Amino acid sequence: MVHRHAAAGRRTALAAVGTLLLSGICSTAAAEAEPPPLAGPLPSATQTLGADRPSAQVLRALERDLGLTGQQAATRLVNEAEAGTRAGRLRLALGERFAGAWLSGATSGTLTVATTSTADVTTIQGQGAKAAVVKATLADLTAVKGKLDKAASLVSTRNAPQWFVDVPRNKVVLEAASRSAADAFLRAAGLDTKQVDVKVSSNRPHLMADITGGDAYYVNGAARCSVGFSVTKGARQGFATAGHCGDPGDRTTGYDQAEQGAFQASAFPGKDMAWVSAGGDWTATANVKGEEGATVQIGGSVEALVGASVCRSGSTTGWHCGTIQQHGTSVSYAEGVVDGLTRTTVCAEPGDSGGPYVSGAQAQGVTSGGTGDCTRGGTTFYQPVNPVLGDYGLTLKTASTGASAPGQQDGGQADGWAAGRVYHIGATVVHDGVRYQCLQSHQAQGAWSPAATPALWQRV
């Protein structure tokens, strides 16, 4: 996102299975001992994560795209913020028996947490969640998907364009153009159909390429993509976007063709991430373009759960919402495989590539590719934003913290908490002499110290 100038243009269509550049893209386990009780009462996550004051733009789009009333939309955002903290605490408490967590219901009022042990049911229900006892742990399913990931580097996946862990179904799913294509991929991975659920589909994801997040920008005067989120790196400011939109050194111009900046780093395939450093005429903001040109302010980057609502902004189709289906999806585009994408029901079209995904006030990722369009609907994937921030050492521009650079470790300790650092579930830090464990993946903001944000951290 950038002030003063924005962008608008188009990139040559890619013959891809799935990215969106202005082209196209793409056994119940035996009972075990009761786990230790969770530490302390469950805190409210609504205030610290901004769910108690949602943007009118987010509410209106949720009403339109998810068929909710205004009150249902507001309730949903509060429920999702609270559930994220609850799920994080249960994941840490269950340990290796954890098999995933997801939300359901029109207002996300039901949190389900899966485990492989019946001994965990009481603990899960004690946190206000529904318990599901399943055969495979999340680690088991992730290991199976890992074999597919490894095989994808050795064989063509043109006709098997996406695979992922379907947490609610406790399965690894492979979507392929034909049964024979799926079988060939499974053989290469050393797997069989008892381990992977095969779905035959003609859908082929493709890239969407074509500075407030959602504005358009041109690459080398031709291709058009969409701005993701404003970021800073030291004194430099710019924005995060999709890697397939440009290579390091490629120049960018704004919506009015004014000089803007250049790609500083880019990764695609493998990942689909990049960042552009903007010139002095551009000012990074915490804004994302919402409905009818109004803006939504970003408050952080707390990762939302499967089943949570998410909205996307793009220079071709504007502001649309849907829900998160799976995290950690691997997608085989014509240009190569991209791992770690999040699959959603949000529609998108060529030119929307790189644009931002927002859940409530939290940044989620940038548009990679998908299938369908905003007339018929479809599936769209985004590159999660926290890996972009972590890999490139960027700081997300937020309404609460501005563009402060990453801070020093708390007390100078190697494991001290530091603003600007990306933390994942289970990470431990020391803050003011007390050790905490991370409940939800996020980039630490200056106002989000562990002691001040029990929605994100618990004492250990």
For every residue of 133-172, DSSP letters joined together read E-SS-HHHHHHHHHHHHHHHTTS--TT--EEEEETTTTEE
Q: Which fold has domain 1-26+204-405?
A: Thrombin, subunit H (2.40.10)
pLDDT of residue 47: 64
Instruction: Find, among 243, 247, 276, the residue nearest to 260 by Cα.
Output: 276
d(C-alpha 456, C-alpha 436), whole Å: 10
Tally the C-alpha atoms within 13 A of residue 191's C-alpha that lie toward its C-beta: 26
Confidence of residue 150 (pLDDT cuts 50, 70, 90): very high
Cβ atoms of residues 78 and 333 within 8 Å: no
Instruction: Give the pLDDT confidence of 360-411 residue by residue, as tens digits.
Output: 999 999 999 999 999 999 999 999 999 999 999 999 999 875 434 555 566 5
DSSP string, 43-83: PP-TTTTTTTS--HHHHHHHHHHH---HHHHHHHHHHHHHH
The residue from 272, 339, 352, 410 that is catalytic is: 272
Which has the closest alpha carbon to 246: 270, 221, 280?
221
> Pick the catalytic residue: 266, 353, 359, 449?
353
Q: Which residues contact 319 (CB under 8 A, 6 or more apart)?
A: 57, 61, 214, 289, 290, 291, 311, 312, 313
Q: Which two tokens stand for residue 27?
A: 């056994």
Given this chain, do its domains 44-54+65-133 and 138-203 carry the same CATH topology? yes
- Diameter of the chain measured on Cα atoms: 65
d(CA 396, CA 263): 17
Mean pLDDT of 423-452: 95
Ordered by start, the domain boundaries in the chain are 1-26+204-405, 44-54+65-133, 138-203, 410-459
Under a CB-based contact definition with an 8 Å cutoff, are residues 87 and 111 in contact?
Answer: yes
DSSP string of 319-369? Answer: EEEEEEEEEEEEEEETTEEEEEEEEES----TT-TT-EEEETTEEEEEEEE
Looking at residue 357, its pLDDT comes to 98
- Measure the CA–CA gap between 101 and 187, rounded to whole angstroms: 30
Residue written as tokens 């318990």? 131
Higher-confidence residue of 208 and 278: namely: 278
Token digits for 404? Answer: 């402060």
Q: Are 303 and 382 in contact (CB under 8 A)?
A: no
In whole angstroms, give the CA distance from residue 13 to residue 49: 38
Concerning whether 244 is annotated as a catalytic residue, the answer is yes
Q: What is the CATH number of domain 44-54+65-133?
A: 3.30.300.50
Of residues 212 and 77, the one with the higher pLDDT is 77
Structure confidence at residue 293 (pLDDT): 73
pTM, to two decimals: 0.81
Q: 3-class DSSP state for residue 185? A: helix
Each residue's pLDDT tens digit, 302-351: 999 999 999 999 999 999 999 999 999 999 999 999 999 999 999 999 99
What kind of architecture, by CATH, is found in domain 410-459?
Ribbon (2.10)
Q: Which residues of 268-290 are buried (b: 16+ CB within 10 A; e: fewer)?
A: bbebbbbbbbbbeebebbbbbbb
Which is catalytic among the residues 5, 206, 244, 327?
244
Quote the tokens at residue 436.
């905490």
Work out the average pLDDT over 29-48: 52
Residue tagged 């909205």 (tokens): 311
pLDDT band at 72 (very low <50, low <70, confident <90, very high): very high
Least confident of 85-94, 124-133, 138-147, 252-261: 252-261
The pLDDT value given to residue 2 = 32
In the annotation, is 353 catalytic? yes
Residue 10 has pLDDT above 80, yes or no: no
Q: How many angstroms separate the CA atoms of 123 and 37, rounded?
A: 7
How far, in Å, CA of 337 to CA of 372, rounded? 20
The pLDDT-based confidence of 126 (bands split at 50, 70, 90) is: very high
Element holding 12 (H helix, E strand): none
Please tell us whether the domain made up of 138-203 is placed in CATH 3.30.300.50: yes
d(CA 450, CA 427): 12
Catalytic: 301? Answer: no
Residue (of 259, 254, 190, 244) closest to 216 by Cα position: 254
pLDDT band at 30 (very low <50, low <70, confident <90, very high): very low
